[in-house]
Structure 1
Amino acid sequence: MSIIYPLTHLSLALIEWVLIGWAIRLWQQSTSFAMMVLPIVLLSISYDNLILSIGSFIGAGELLKTLSMLRFLLHYLVVPLFIVIGVELAHRAGASWANGVMRVLSAIVALGLATIDIATHYIGLELVPIEFAGILRYHVANLSGPPIITIVVNIFVLLIGIGIWFRLKLPWLFLGTLISFFGNALPSDIVGTLAGSASEFVMAIGLLLTEEFSQKTKQKIIRESLLINR
């Protein structure tokens, strides 16, 4: 058990670089803004998994604590970006509400939520070392209450996933976000960090599959339209 968690986190960190390549390919095919933002999120998630996987190797001390501070900072910055990605995917799915104003507003909201998270949680952050299943990490001292912003972001993207499911018959975003929602809800002090990290990985795959099949659906509609007009 002591080696399973670190190796799995390391595997996730490496595979997420494959997902970054996938996102870049999808962006090149359609210049989807969602696929420009997703690699930023994936970089943060990959870094998170990497630090978790090598924490025991580094050992408790200032180095791991500094790397962990950066891990938390990236988390607070990138989680709201899921709102931007979700709105962009809804726009590409043809949702009338996801217009230009909403797309700009989603970026403003994401920036605002990130600012709130940093102001309320990151500034003055105190970390203490904790070990579980071979993972040595720094944990927030005196943590109180659930991660409200993470929950709000998950629910928002979940609703977008339902809309895309009904509009394009693509359930991937809904399923990926649903798994992420429940995975992140599991207390890490009881089940460890793997459930949350794996659920974020699944959510990223859901986003990528949604974009992949959305592009294929649009290409199919265009081909059918050309055949009808001949």
Structure 2
Amino acid sequence: MIDTILYFLFSICYLTLLILNIKLIKKRNVSFYMVFLPLVIVGLIYDNIIISLGSFIGEGNVLLLLSMFRFWFHALFTPTLLLFAYGVAKQSSLQWANKFIFKIIFLMSTLALISYEIIQTINKNPEILREYGIIRYTFVGASGAPLMVIIMAFILLVVGVSLYRKTRWSIMMIGVALMVVGSAIPINLPSTAIINIFELFFICSLFLTQRYVTFSIHDKD
């Protein structure tokens, strides 16, 4: 029951972030690449809502269908955080971000990760998982940090470090580091939702970074 409440609260937190993000985008002239963060947040809102409702919906075709949308949103939306990171670097006027080759690298990396996730989603079989009052579908054999998450976290950390070195803004770097540490260190708690706190911190750090580069750096120009 506690996990059900936590997942629902996460969805409320992400919805709040989405509203703030949309207001920021409408209020300021932000880079095109910045719009990918709210896209990812939409996927997280849906993900947490469906997980929180899993025990009420119950095992069956309805929950399976709703869960497949979870998997597809993750495959199609999450890799676009690389484009968001490029937008942060570009809007922060990081020297390497002005080189055309890096634009191509970020674009091709995003497309490669999306393609990889699509193949994984097609080829893996979902199975029911029951733990701590939560009923949800997950992929058979899915364990450890996915390749996509590892690659994405590394690239975002590089951008976060680069941003810190130029502007002393450390929030993005810390947010990525917390997510990596939280995912890597096993936490022995009777909950599957607790680990998602690190993911929430991570997304919050990206939103705060977006706000920082949109207001602070823009106002200096």
Would you call these one fold, judging by a TM-score over 0.5?
yes
Could you tell me which residue of structure 1 aligns to residue 154 of structure 2?
155
Deviation at 1:221, TM superposition (A): 2.5
Could you tell me which residue of structure 2 aligns to residue 103 of structure 1?
103
Q: Equivalents in 1 of 2:170, 2:130: separation in Å?
A: 37
Change (3 A) 1:192 1:114: farther
Tell me if 1:130 matches 2:123.
Answer: no
Q: Which residue identity is paired with 1:181?
A: V
Q: Which residue identity is paired with 2:96?
A: W
Deviation at 1:158, TM superposition (A): 0.9
Q: Equivalents in 2 of 1:177, 1:51: separation in Å?
A: 25
Deviation at 1:191, TM superposition (A): 6.2
Q: Percentage identity across aligned positions?
A: 26
For residues 79-109 of structure 1, the C-alpha deviation after alignment (integer angstroms, 9 at most, x for no partner) is 2111111111011111111126233542332
Q: Report matched runs for 1:210-221 at 5 Å.
A: 210-221=209-220
For residues 154-194 of structure 1, the C-alpha deviation after alignment (integer angstroms, 9 at most, x for no partner) is 01101111111121111111111111222333569976532
Larger gyration radius, structure 1 or structure 2: 1
Change (3 A) 1:204 1:148: same
- The worse-fitting range, judged by mean Cα deviation, of 142-151 and 48-57 is 142-151
**Do the aligned partners of 2:164 and 2:173 also contact (CA within 8 Å) in 1?**
yes
2:11 aligned residue (13, 20, 23):
13
Could you tell me which residue of structure 2 aligns to residue 90 of structure 1?
89
Secondary structure in 2 aligned to 1:154?
Answer: helix
Could you tell me which residue of structure 2 aligns to residue 225 of structure 1?
none
Change (3 A) 1:63 1:186: farther
The higher relative CO (CA closer than 8 Å, separation ≥ 6) is in 2
Q: Equivalents in 2 of 1:87, 1:179: separation in Å?
A: 20
**Do the aligned partners of 1:186 and 1:196 also contact (CA within 8 Å) in 2?**
no
Q: What root-mean-square deviation, in Å, do the aligned CA atoms of Structure 1 and Structure 2 show? A: 2.2
Q: Equivalents in 2 of 1:209, 1:177: separation in Å?
A: 13
Deviation at 1:214, TM superposition (A): 2.2
TM-score (norm 2): 0.89
**Do the aligned partners of 1:88 and 1:103 also contact (CA within 8 Å) in 2?**
no
- The worse-fitting range, judged by mean Cα deviation, of 26-35 and 86-95 is 26-35
Could you tell me which residue of structure 1 aligns to residue 38 of structure 2?
39
For residues 6-39 of structure 1, the C-alpha deviation after alignment (integer angstroms, 9 at most, x for no partner) is 1111111122111112212222212232431111
Deviation at 1:47, TM superposition (A): 0.6
For residues 121-153 of structure 1, the C-alpha deviation after alignment (integer angstroms, 9 at most, x for no partner) is 111321111111111111211335641121110
TM-score (norm 1): 0.86
Q: Report matched runs for 1:1-230 at 5 Å.
A: 3-28=1-26, 29-99=28-98, 101=100, 102-119=102-119, 121-143=120-142, 146-185=145-184, 192-222=191-221
Secondary structure in 2 aligned to 1:60?
Answer: coil
Secondary structure in 2 aligned to 1:194?
Answer: coil
Change (3 A) 1:63 1:89: same
For residues 186-211 of structure 1, the C-alpha deviation after alignment (integer angstroms, 9 at most, x for no partner) is 56997653244322221111111112
**Do the aligned partners of 2:132 and 2:192 also contact (CA within 8 Å) in 1?**
no
**Do the aligned partners of 2:18 and 2:41 also contact (CA within 8 Å) in 1?**
yes
Could you tell me which residue of structure 2 aligns to residue 227 of structure 1?
none
* Number of matched pairs: 219
Deviation at 1:216, TM superposition (A): 3.4
Structure 2 portions without partners, runs of 5+: none
